[in-house]
Structures are given as C-alpha cells and as structure tokens.
Structure 1
Amino acid sequence: MVALGRLMLSQRGGKVKNQFIDKLRIYAKGGSGGQGLPSYGGVGGKGGNVYVESSSKMTFRRLKNLHPSKRFKAKEGENSRLRCLQGARGNDVIIPVPLGVCVVDDKRNVVADLDKLGQRVLVADGGSGGNSENDWKGSMGQTLSLNLELKLIADVGFVGFPNAGKSTLLEAMSRSEPKIAEYPFTTIRPQVGVCQYSDLRQISLADLPGLVEGAHCNVGMGHKFLRHVERTKLLLFVVDVHGFRLSPRHPFRTAFQTVMLLNKELELYKQHLVEKPAIVAFNKLDMEGAGERLEEALELLKAGDRETRSSLQDMNIQPEQPIIFKDIISISAKEHSGIEKLKTRIREIIDDETEREEDGEENMEGPGG
C-alpha cells in the first residue's frame, strides 16, 4: 500500500524524492570580451564560450544537485594592459549532460542532438575583445535559455498500455529487476535492461511508462514517453492478448484494437515513428481463454478488410498508416514462454535493418567513396 500510495502521489503531481528527471531548463551566458588599449593597439581577450557535452557519468539529477541555479556563465576576457597588450582569453564552461540529450532553444529549434559519447556543441559564444573594429570596447557574450531533453538511446523500445506485462518481459529478457505489480502505471520512469546472447552479443531494451489514449496530446505521461521512443531501432508492441481497460471510465479495448490504438498514438505524435521496424508480442498466453483471444487478434490483423476499418473509424482509432509488423509472436512473460523466439527475432531484425542502412549509405557515397 505504501508503494501504491507513492505512485498515486506521483500521478497527482506530488513530489517523489527519486522521480526520474528527463528534462531540464538552463541559462547560459558567454563571457564578455576584455577592453582594448587604443593608445598602444592592445586587444582585449575574447570572452569564454559555454558548451554542452555528452558524458556517460552524468544524470540530470546530479547536474541539478551540482548546479542548483542551473545558470552557467563563462569567464570574461582580460583587458589589454601595458605589460600584456593581448588580453588573455576567458575560460570556457563545459556543461556535462547525459548521453542522448537534445538541446532545444525557446523557439523549439533543435540546437544539437548529442547521441555520441563526448559530442560537444557550442551554445553561448563569448564576446569579442576590444579592438580597432569595435572602438576598443569588448562586446557582450551571447545569452540564452535552453531546454535539455533526454531521449533514451536503446536498441528496442517497449510500447504498450499500462499493465500489459512490459516490466515482467524486461525482467525475463534481461538482467534488469524492474518494479512489478498488478496495477497500472507500475513503471513511472524508464527502465533499461540488457539482453545478452550466448555469443556475448548485447542488445539494450527500454521499458517505458505505459501509454494512455491521448498520449500524443500529452495526456498521462504522453510526450515524456513518446520522446524516448524516437531513438530506438526497433519498436516492440507488448499487448495483453485479453485486452485492456485503464479504468471503469475508459472503454474496453480488445488486443487488436489495442494494437491499432498504439499505432495511431505514435502516428499522431510523429509520423516517422510508424516507419520504424516493429514486432507485436501478444502477452499473457498462460491465462485462461488466451488461445481464442489470440486467434481472433491474428485474424483481424491479417484481414484489413473494409468492415474492420469501418469499425475502427467509428471508434476513432483507425491509423492513417497501419504499421506492417516484421513479426507477431505470442508469449507469456510470466512463464518465460516464447521468450527465446522473441529474442532471436529481435536480433535478426535489428541486424537486417543495420545491414540495409549500411548498404544505403554506401550507395549514396558512390563508387569513389
């Protein structure tokens, strides 16, 4: 009950001490240039720059603790003086951020996507030192506010409604030990596990907070979830074969309707997401009546007839671009049934896609490289 109470508090907007932070707003200011010395032609030092750099050792929580004000100012350039006509340059400031951060300005322009370790981007340029072109007066450094938005980098992203069994599946496929319970929203922050194969090949898996209808409009955890899906190589739809109902106030959705609704939520958020390779894993095959529900869902997924599309349109859950799934696999995450087949197909599809992308890059480069 204590754990459930903490989750409910988080849902209602209360603060949970260890709540996952995946967005941070900062202020950056480049250093001002030093003053020149016109009588002797002395040039002021350039102001320091502010950079953002990806680091494997940084989290937003740690960054916030180290810099509570979230204000980063580079040093001013030194003034020119008789003993040193060329003023020294101001020291730069480097802001370490987690790998996978997207730097966005107030106009929602993407300044940089830091998806490689050690990648660095200039965000606030230092001012020029005083010289003959600016009347020997050092200029001010660039000043701006920025949003740092974390997008998890994982090979596979789990997509599903709450209580579909995503956390149980992550535990079955990896060494991760996520929080598991029989109520919605068990996962309130992303969980990342690693699936290791017999030849020591590793594939990372991200279990993300469950979607709800209207996620594309930021309902529930909406954008917080969908943002993390963008960088995954493969989408894994985890669907309760018995269907899903969030609460008595929400309509019941069959397994087939759940797949279509998830498809539509991704499509409405960003169209390109439905073009990613995807697998459907129908879960909870260990429960009574699962075989019949599975057969019904498979028939509807394969049919795609006018009557089926019409019924989806009536419920407003028909996607404009239905995803063509690479495979549909039935599993029981609880009983570890079908897990090995799922792991094999995930690896095969990721390898095929990687090879296809590499071939495409070679063709673009042409014979001469």
Structure 2
Amino acid sequence: MVRTGFFFYLAASSKESFKKSVRRRINFTDSLRIFVSGGSGGQGYPSYGGIGGDGGNVYLQPTETQTLRGLKLQYPTKRFKAEGGRNSRRHILHGSKGNNLMIPIPNGVSVYSEENQLLGDLVNLDDRLLVATGGKGGCSSNDWNGQKGEKHVLSLELKILADIGLVGFPNAGKSTLLSTISRLAPKIAEYPFTTIKPQIGTIHYPDLRQITVADLPGLIEGAHFNLGMGHKFLRHVERTHLLLFVVDVNGFKLSSRSFFRNAYETVLLLNKELELYKQHLLDKPAVLAINKLDLPDTENIFEEVKNRLKEGDLTGIPAEMQPKTLIKFSDVIGISAKEGHCIPQLVQCVRQVIDQDPLESDNQNLAGTAPS
C-alpha cells in the first residue's frame, strides 16, 4: 500500500517501522501533558464569623537545570496540586492561605490549554506563569464553605532556544559541521537519523562573542504532515534567530523506496517544508552551506545551485515541489565540514548576519542552553 501525498510517496509499512525504530532510540522529551489543581479553600467558622484561608496557586517557573524528561521521571503521575487553605478555628478565626506550588520546567516552554489555546511562552528565567488559582476560603458570601481550586490539563511544548538552527535532511553533515565549529562532539555516523535529540554547540569567537547552534533531528519530506520527526523538528526551528541550511552537494535519498533529490531540489524541498509548516519561518535570516565539496567533481554542482538560486530558476521543477516564496539566503557558501574547508568563512558569515538582524541588535546572547 503506497500513500500519496503532497510531493512524496512513502510506503505505509516503511513509515510505521521507521516510527517504531525512532521511538526505541529516542530519549529526549519535548512535549508533556500535566494536570494542575489549585488548593481548596479552608472552611469558615460561621458562629464567630471566621474566614477560611484561600487555597494555594500553581505556577510554572523556568529553571536552567530542569528538563521535561526529568519532570516526567520525578513526577510519574504528572499531577500537581497546591496546598489547601487552613480552616477557620475558634482561636484562629482567619485561616492561613495554602502554600503556592511552583513547578520547575525547562526554559523555552510554550504552555497550551486543553483547548489548544496558548497560555504563555516561558523564555526567560525570571518568567512565571499562573496556571491554576486556589479556591476561595469559606466566608459569608459562600455560606462558609471553602471552594475548590481550578483544575486544568496543560500541554507543555519545549522549543529549543538557540541563535542558529541547522536545517537539513538526514546525513547532510549537520552533526559533523556542529562538531567542527563548536566545542560539542555529537554522535556522528554514516547513516541517517544519527541525531535523535537536539544538540547544542557554541561558537566561541576571539573577542569572547558566543553564538549557540542547534543541531536538530533530521527532517524528511512530509515533515509538515508530521511524518518522521516532523513537528518535533519544525517546532524547535521557531525560536532560532538564523536558519543555517546544510545540503549534501550530491543530493539526498532517504531509502530505496524514496525519490532521489539533487542538491538544488533538496534546497527547494527544505524551503517548502518550512513554508507549509509556518510561513513566517521564511522571514528568518538564512544562510545556505553546500556541504561535502571535498568530494570529486562537486564544484560545478555548487556553482549551478548558487546560480539557480540567484536567478530563482524553477525550470524543470514539478509544480508541487515549488515553494510559493523562495527563501532569500544572505549567502551561499561551499564547505567541507569533514575537512574544514571554508568553515572560518561560514563562521564569520553567520555572525555578521545575526549581528545585523534588528531583532538581535539589543539582545545578542539570550539564547538558552539545551536541556540534557
């Protein structure tokens, strides 16, 4: 059985086996559903006009050390309830308020309601979000009966904070590039989907400027349909300031059942996936690195890709593969991540583009650190 889609064909059995293999290997959690409840209000004391204490509230607070996986392991039930208010008593007529509950979460989490409404983005360590209010204590207005606290089911979605997001199909050389330009040594192998969780490296410049780079799980055609790691990948791209496309000069083919895409088609497909997921991603500054130019007979391919992009040439490209809006790359650079060819040029280029970005001019180093 073959599934037809936007511009790809993927065997259903192959898709399912792929998902199972990824689930077995992945140990990174970037989404989590939790239940939160404010504390119940304390009972009043009608004979003496005593007022019960209000229940505690529940807040979400970003921390540097927490991860969603760590939160899940620490609280297996994923249920959080604040302390209830104290009852009014004869000798203590005003019951004390229940303690608030602060849930530590990783920096960069978006919080959604059960109706999929965005409640807040927690992108700074001093952010705090009220997600469940405690019940009012018993008093004359509620017949001295303490009220129950708010109850909500929330979805937490982590979006990696980094200056640069590496965008490319599997085996394009993103992990090799990251290890070359930063101090991170990610797992590298000659097969697709080596990167099964986001890796964050840092480029260190002589003047102490630092730029963070996120190597994200490789996406595939149909990522906007959530195939492969589709939305896991695309979600993390949203909070990066610059997109660094990494494309194998010799093209890409996921499997024997997939179509071969040459280097130029690969760029267009990456462009299309971002466009179909969220159009505004195309407005981000972008740089294209054509990788593996250490291989024979690749200079001509590089020049052809560069010239066709400059001209916006879509000759011979099927209509279903053509993006409506072509990304305008600040630069197109031919590199060899393995041999270090033109890496210094690339490193200086991305810094120049980021520093010229008006959104970054006043806030160059707020990118968070990736959860482990």
User: CA offset at residue 61 of structure 1?
Assistant: 2.0
User: CA offset at residue 13 of structure 1?
Assistant: 4.8
Within the candidate set 41, 45, 49, 1:37 is matched to 45
Alignment of 1:1-369 (within 5 A): 11-13=19-21, 16=24, 19-305=27-313, 308=314, 311-314=316-319, 316-354=320-358
User: CA offset at residue 132 of structure 1?
Assistant: 1.8
Counterpart residue identity of residue 290, structure 2: F
Distance of aligned partners of 1:120 and 1:356 in 2 relative to their CA distance in 1, 3 Å threshold: closer
In 2: Cα distance, 1:266 partner to 1:118 partner: 31
SS at match of 2:155: strand
In 1: Cα distance, 2:115 partner to 2:330 partner: 38
In 2: Cα distance, 1:354 partner to 1:9 partner: 44
| Alignment check: 8 A CA contact 1:9 1:15 kept | no
Of all paired residues, the percent bearing the same amino acid is 55
- Unaligned runs of 5+ residues in structure 2 are 1-15, 364-372
In 1: Cα distance, 2:23 partner to 2:285 partner: 37
In 1: Cα distance, 2:18 partner to 2:197 partner: 11
After TM superposition, the structure 1 stretch with the greater mean CA deviation from structure 2, 337-346 or 58-67, is: 58-67
| Alignment check: 8 A CA contact 1:33 1:130 kept | yes
User: CA offset at residue 312 of structure 1?
Assistant: 2.6
SS at match of 1:39: coil
| Alignment check: 8 A CA contact 2:312 2:326 kept | no
Counterpart residue identity of residue 253, structure 2: R
| Alignment check: 8 A CA contact 2:55 2:85 kept | yes
Counterpart residue identity of residue 336, structure 2: S
Q: With CA pairs under 8 Å and 6+ residues apart, which has the higher RCO, 1 or 2?
A: 2
In 2: Cα distance, 1:188 partner to 1:265 partner: 19
User: CA offset at residue 60 of structure 1?
Assistant: 1.6
User: CA offset at residue 18 of structure 1?
Assistant: 6.4
Q: Deviations for 1:190-225, whole angstroms, at most 9, x for unmatched residues?
A: 111011001111100000011100000100000000
Q: Deviations for 1:247-266, whole angstroms, at most 9, x for unmatched residues?
A: 12111111111111101100
| Alignment check: 8 A CA contact 1:10 1:16 kept | no
| Alignment check: 8 A CA contact 2:110 2:118 kept | yes
SS at match of 1:40: coil
- 2:11 paired residue number: none
SS at match of 1:242: coil
Over 3 Å off, 4+ runs: 8-11, 13-18, 354-359
Q: TM-score, normalised by structure 2?
A: 0.90
Counterpart residue identity of residue 197, structure 1: Y
| Alignment check: 8 A CA contact 2:26 2:197 kept | no
In 1: Cα distance, 2:155 partner to 2:52 partner: 32
User: CA offset at residue 81 of structure 1?
Assistant: 1.0
Counterpart residue identity of residue 112, structure 1: G
In 2: Cα distance, 1:303 partner to 1:22 partner: 39
Distance of aligned partners of 1:110 and 1:283 in 2 relative to their CA distance in 1, 3 Å threshold: same
| Alignment check: 8 A CA contact 2:165 2:244 kept | yes
| Alignment check: 8 A CA contact 1:37 1:44 kept | yes
In 1: Cα distance, 2:361 partner to 2:324 partner: 26
RMSD: 1.8
Counterpart residue identity of residue 227, structure 2: V
- 2:13 paired residue number: none
User: CA offset at residue 90 of structure 1?
Assistant: 0.6
Q: Deviations for 1:20-67, whole angstroms, at most 9, x for unmatched residues?
A: 111111110100111111221111100011111000011122212211
| Alignment check: 8 A CA contact 1:47 1:91 kept | yes
In 1: Cα distance, 2:86 partner to 2:307 partner: 74
Q: TM-score, normalised by structure 1?
A: 0.91
Q: Deviations for 1:164-204, whole angstroms, at most 9, x for unmatched residues?
A: 00000000000000011111111111111011001111100
Counterpart residue identity of residue 345, structure 1: C
